[in-house]
Structure 1
Amino acid sequence: MMKMLDRLLLFLYSLVIGAATVTAVIVAAGGFKTVWLKEVVDDITGGYRVAQATVLIVAVLLFLISLRFFVVSLSRGGNNAPSINQRTEHGDIQISVETVENLVLKAASRSRGVKDLRARVRVGEAGLHITIRAFVDGEGSIPTLSEEMQRTVSEQIEETTGIPVADVSVFIANLTQAPTTFKSRVE
């Protein structure tokens, strides 16, 4: 909710500052005279005293919004890496999603015939949803290799992190090409 409010405030703030900047540039370039601008403001507000109060209120609001953005910019300077949080009897445990992804890659690379792995981990209600993208050498059965990889990754992640794994999806992207060896022929 606060994120949406901050985004709305930033949008409105940008519009007001943008309009003020464009107006200042036009006045500075001689696009229209300041007397004309004063008359327009007086016509809209109904008099000089109302204009002063309006300017004061707008200035205070812009200052408060600026202050809010300043506080938000300082408070978000901490660790923003997505993490998985667990509570134990001894305290809190935070494991970054990147750490879990690296564990997935390590476990999946143990499967024979797998090359060029990529992993993505999402946290869900039932546990971790892991997606693995791999290239294989094509020497063995792809379904057998995929099931072995799913089992290995699931067991390794649950054992290492203590976080349940909801599912492991394996996407075999392609086959790797074995390097071709050429024999030199001397004549």
Structure 2
Amino acid sequence: MIKVLDKLLLFLYSIAVGVAAIVAIVAASGGISASWMKDVVDSFTGDSQAVQLSVIVVAVVLLLFSFRFFVLSVRRDGGSAPSINQRTDHGDIRISVETVENLALKAASRTRGVKDLRARVRVSEKGLGILIRAFVDGDGSIPTLSEEMQRTVSKEVEDATGIPVAEVSVFIANVTQTPKTFKSRVE
């Protein structure tokens, strides 16, 4: 929820800064008359309290946005890669998500007929959700190959990490073309 709010604030802040930049460019290039600009500035500093109050409110909101984005830019997120934490009798175990992805790729690569593998891991209450993206050579049955890959990845990741695998999804991105080799005849 906080990330969505931050994205919304950043969007609004970008629009406000963009509009201010356009106005500054047009004013500096002579697109706005000096007398009109003087009248606008006078209305901000003049007797109209409603205009003054609205300018102050907008300026304070933009200042708060700036402060929020400054804090986000200098804040540290712990400095570590995303990991899966387990507690054992002997202490804590932290396994990086990248490690689990590499284990899944290693297991999936053992399946005959797959190429150009990619893996993505997400952690849920039920266990790990692993998505394997692959190209196949098209020589065999894609459902059979996918089921074999699912079994292999699930078993090997669970055995290596001790973390239950809730699901292994396989996405076959394409079928690769195998180059045909021709034998040359020598007469």
TM-score by length of 2: 0.73
Report how many residues are paired: 184
**Which deviates more from structure 2 when the two are superposed, residues 66-75 or residues 113-122?**
113-122
Deviation at 1:53, TM superposition (A): 6.5
Q: Which runs of 5+ in 1 are unaligned?
A: none
1:164: Cα distance to partner?
Answer: 0.8
Q: 1:164–1:142: structure 2 CA closer, same or farther, 3 Å change rule?
A: same
Report the counterpart of residue 99 of structure 2 in structure 1. Answer: 99
Aligned to 1:31: 31
The Cα of 1:128 is off from its aligned counterpart by 1.9
Aligned-pair identity in percent equals: 59
Residue type matched to 1:86 in 2?
N
**Cα distance change on mapping 1:33 and 1:114 into 2, 3 Å:** closer
- Partner Cα distance (1:26, 1:119) in 2: 50
2:15 is matched with 15
- With 174-183 and 67-76 compared, the bigger mean Cα shift is at 174-183
**Who is 1:68 aligned against?**
68
Aligned to 1:125, what secondary structure does the other structure show?
coil
Question: How has the CA–CA distance of structure 1 residues 134 and 4 changed in structure 2, closer, same or farther, with 3 Å as cutoff?
Answer: closer
| 1:137–1:178 CA contact under 8 A, matched in 2 | no
Q: Confirm or deny that 1:123 pairs with 2:116.
A: no
SS at 1:186 equivalent: coil
What CA deviation, in whole Å up to 9, does each residue of 1:27-53 have, x standing for no partner? 222223333223245557862777666
Alpha-carbon offset, residue 77 of structure 1? 7.0
> AA paired with 1:135?
V
Output the CA distance in 1 between the equivalents of 2:7 and 2:186: 72
Q: What amino acid sits opposite 1:186 in the alignment? A: V
Q: Give the Å deviation of 1:156.
A: 0.7
SS of the residue 2:96 aligns to: strand
Amino acid at match of 1:184: S
Name the counterpart of 2:84.
85
Structure 1 residue aligned with 2:183: 183
Instruction: Report the aligned-residue RMSD.
Output: 3.5
- 2:130/2:168 contact within 8 Å kept: yes
Q: Please list every run of 5 or more consecutive structure 2 residues that lacks an aligned counterpart in the other structure.
A: none
**Equivalent residue runs for 1:152-167 within 5 Å:** 152-167=152-167
Equivalent position amino acid for 1:11 in 2: F
